[in-house]
Amino acid sequence: MQEICIYEKTLIRLLSGCPSLKRLTINSDGSTITDIGNFTIVDLFECLPVIEYLSIWFYIVMFFGPDRLPKELPTTMVHLKYLCMIHICFHHEYGLRFLALLIRSSPNLEKIKLVILEDMLFEIIVTGSYTIKDFSNIKFEHLKELEILNFSNEENELEFVKLMLAKSPVLKELKICFLSDALDKEVELEISKIILTSHCASPVVKKTIVRG
């Protein structure tokens, strides 16, 4: 679903009528989802009991009661293997909180892809109280691949990568793509050095770092 105009309740009704849905992509900046009713992000994910592949824009959380985000979903998404979050912002009030919610509720994830939002595209940036420390009790026992696009070394980005490396014992591939022209070459080299020399729980992880 891409840029469709829909009510919250209609979206929930549509998804709840598809109990065998395994793949879902919702690409929307939120302007095409109309707030009506009292639905939360929990209601959305309760409609996806057997989801295996999920690609979702971060904006959607703003239309499902972001101030009521739980630490964990009531129903664990045990079937989810691939998670892609687009336009995630690590220093937005709900950025890390939403990401932690999805990862903590998906114990069998094998691949995570994050497309970080460029600041110029975000009108309101708010630093929240949720930090990288809130990921410390999350296990990544099945994660094999981590891909991050538009990496710019903003607050928490580098710490997130280091934590993932340290807590992913079967990780096979790490891909980092720097945001083009966001950093000078010396800074990129320093960040690359830190990532390449960071402790890895997996003995076979391949690290690839490029400029976008």
Task: Of 31-35, 97-101, 174-178, give the lowest mean pLDDT range.
Answer: 31-35
Question: pLDDT value at position 171?
Answer: 98
Rounded to 5 degrees, what are φ and ψ at 100? -65, -40
Q: Which residues pair with 86 in a beta bridge?
A: 57, 115
Question: pLDDT value at position 33?
Answer: 62
The more confident residue out of 202 and 181 is: 202
Query: How sure is the predictor about 35, in pLDDT bands with cuts at 50, 70 and 90?
Result: low
Rounded to 5 degrees, what are φ and ψ at 117? -75, 135
Q: What is the pTM of this model?
A: 0.91
How confident is the prediction for the chain on average, in pLDDT? Answer: 86
Task: Of 18-32, 60-74, 113-127, 176-190, give the lowest mean pLDDT range.
Answer: 113-127
User: Quick count: other Cβ atoms within 10 Å of Cβ 140?
Assistant: 24
Q: Is 67 helix (H, G, I), strand (E, B) or coil?
A: helix
Q: Span 28-38, mean pLDDT? A: 63
pLDDT at 138 > cutoff 70: yes
Supply the angle between the helices 185-197 and 157-166 in degrees, to the nearest 10.
Answer: 20
pLDDT at 163 > cutoff 80: yes
pLDDT at 36 > cutoff 60: no
Question: pLDDT value at position 65?
Answer: 72
Helix, strand, coil fractions of the chain, as percent rounded to 5: 30, 20, 50
In the chain, the percentage of residues whose pLDDT exceeds 70 is: 90
Question: pLDDT value at position 14?
Answer: 92
Q: Which residues pair with 27 in a beta bridge?
A: 2
Please write down the HEC assignment for all residues of 9-52.
HHHHHHHHCCCCCCEEEEECCCCCEECCCCCCHHHHHHCCCCCC
